[in-house]
Structure 1
């Protein structure tokens, strides 16, 4: 960027499904535009969860500063609201240095928390405990009926138990329906989202190969180490792809081959959900992940959108 460009650098986001090459493109763009990376993969917040999350190593970062990696212990719960504050503070600090902030990740809600006008209602642990007891005693249908009376929009979304409890909690805390907090597609600040368009059959093969590489690189040992540091007690980390499956290997419920197969299946399903999420956002500029000129194509879009030189 030129001196004029650095006065108010834009925000770039590289998004798409797991295994599509987001990290590589983000680093390439950081080299081109004197940028720094902000992580938007919720499982890469966790210290020690390296192999199973395909976290970029220090060597792979190529000297590019990476932020919001390794911010949580495995027994802590990730919070989108906390991430929003951290990400926006990090973006502001990068901009103050005259650098280009580049958000990279596939956790859709976390991406939107950083990019969009998005309000997070408060929580009340006592209310949540009471609602969880109601769920155990009366069942989900009873709570859904209760939600339908106060927030029919949310009730019609087929929420899982966790989100069902959250919707009822929000109404009690704020007096507003949970649906009123749903995000709109309005950027918090000028931004450009670049999405990686994949060949789905090839992605399926790549994800399978990546899981086998993780196993070869010692995923089971990583899970065992983290188990000793409270992995099972972490509501978020314990459900992570690969970690949940390989905990069952430690428990003697699965072989490594079975856990790898289950992880591949779960990862492919997750990639499909990511594609559905990001495809719903019309603001994303999609680029072919196999284009030999991918970085230059992405850089051209950035220059045209923001008038950078």
Structure 2
């Protein structure tokens, strides 16, 4: 049973498309969803990640949701191993796995069987110490001096990826990009569909999505998670929306001041997602504003040879 992947920028309606495809297939085949949104891995991070509630999942099994505590570190390698096992198990029972999400490295690691370079705790700890000593901006400059291409591809605020890039360069003696996955035939012969909208329309959708999150209680969710150790989480605390609310609270605000920064950060992230996914020639793109996308998705899935 060939898998289907529905990918693309945040806020484009990927989950709804996946669920409607599952309903369209009806009794022909059972469908199970495998999440590919890194922050939806975390228990309790619901509002700010637009995670579907159990009721909203329409009775369809979902995997790789709520599998990590907020104090745990999400890694591409861990996800690749766990999601691959889910897909193999789903196919073994004759069901259709549908991978849904927009976390770029997570999806490519899964579909291109990324072989991860080794890690060395001592080297990693040394670079993390350097990060604490000089700060993220200065460390990004250090990365630029040894691997300019890596520095251009990594945000100067992403301390975790900067440290990892420096670790890989030191251990391998090669540019960080040398360890990146190569786009080839997708694993399991997966059909890949991309969903996107006109930029102005998507920006409006993102603004409404952000307003809804704050209206639905994102600030309260963050406050609750802070009591469970969110601030100590290496990856969870940096999630869009959560990081902005934490910063606003730390500055003496009530959290509501984070709304605009959350929207701007999400819009910026969408631009990065587009740039990444558009490089993948295997993706067949659909316009979110067009009708008939369920039928188009099913045709693409059936036509992959």
Task: Please indicate, yes or no, whether the TM-score normalized by the shorter chain is above 0.5.
Answer: yes
Tell me, in whole angstroms, the C-alpha distance in 1 between the residues paired with 2:108 and 2:209.
Answer: 27
The answer to whether 1:12 aligns with 2:22 is no
User: In 2, are the aligned partners of 1:154 and 1:167 still within 8 Å (CA)?
Assistant: yes
Could you report, residue by residue, the CA deviation over 1:236-257 in whole angstroms, capped at 9, with x for unpaired residues?
A: 1111111111123433444544
What TM-score, normalized to structure 2?
A: 0.89
Could you report, residue by residue, the CA deviation over 1:163-214 in whole angstroms, capped at 9, with x for unpaired residues?
A: 3432332244456553321210022331111001211111111111111111
Match of 1:223 in 2: 222
The answer to whether 1:76 aligns with 2:72 is yes
Tell me, in whole angstroms, the C-alpha distance in 1 between the residues paired with 2:212 and 2:149.
Answer: 43
Q: Which has the larger radius of gyration?
A: 1
Greater alpha carbon shift after TM alignment, 91-100 vs 241-250: 241-250
Q: 1:34 to 1:158 in 2, by over 3 A?
A: closer
> How many residue pairs end up in the alignment?
294
The answer to whether 1:166 aligns with 2:164 is yes
Tell me, in whole angstroms, the C-alpha distance in 2 between the residues paired with 1:27 and 1:264.
Answer: 26
User: In 2, are the aligned partners of 1:13 and 1:104 still within 8 Å (CA)?
Assistant: yes
- 1:14-53 aligned at under 5 Å gives the runs 14-31=6-23, 32=25, 33-53=29-49
User: In 2, are the aligned partners of 1:197 and 1:288 still within 8 Å (CA)?
Assistant: yes
Report the Cα offset of residue 154 of structure 1.
4.4
Q: 1:286 to 1:143 in 2, by over 3 A?
A: closer
Structure 2, unpaired ranges of 5+: none
Q: Choose which of 120, 125, 135 in structure 2 pairs with 1:124.
A: 120
Could you report, residue by residue, the CA deviation over 1:30-52 in whole angstroms, capped at 9, with x for unpaired residues?
A: 23142110000001000000011
User: In 1, are the aligned partners of 2:219 and 2:256 still within 8 Å (CA)?
Assistant: no
Report the Cα offset of residue 118 of structure 1.
1.2
Tell me, in whole angstroms, the C-alpha distance in 2 between the residues paired with 1:114 and 1:54.
Answer: 22
Report the Cα offset of residue 297 of structure 1.
1.3
Q: 1:69 to 1:254 in 2, by over 3 A?
A: same
Tell me, in whole angstroms, the C-alpha distance in 2 between the residues paired with 1:103 and 1:158.
Answer: 25
RMSD: 2.2
- 1:189-228 aligned at under 5 Å gives the runs 189-228=188-227
User: In 1, are the aligned partners of 2:245 and 2:256 still within 8 Å (CA)?
Assistant: no
The answer to whether 1:105 aligns with 2:101 is yes
Structure 1, unpaired ranges of 5+: 1-8
Could you report, residue by residue, the CA deviation over 1:91-148 in whole angstroms, capped at 9, with x for unpaired residues?
A: 0000011001100000011010111131111222211122233453695345554x35
Q: Choose which of 184, 203, 220 in structure 1 pairs with 2:182.
A: 184
Q: 1:164 to 1:62 in 2, by over 3 A?
A: closer
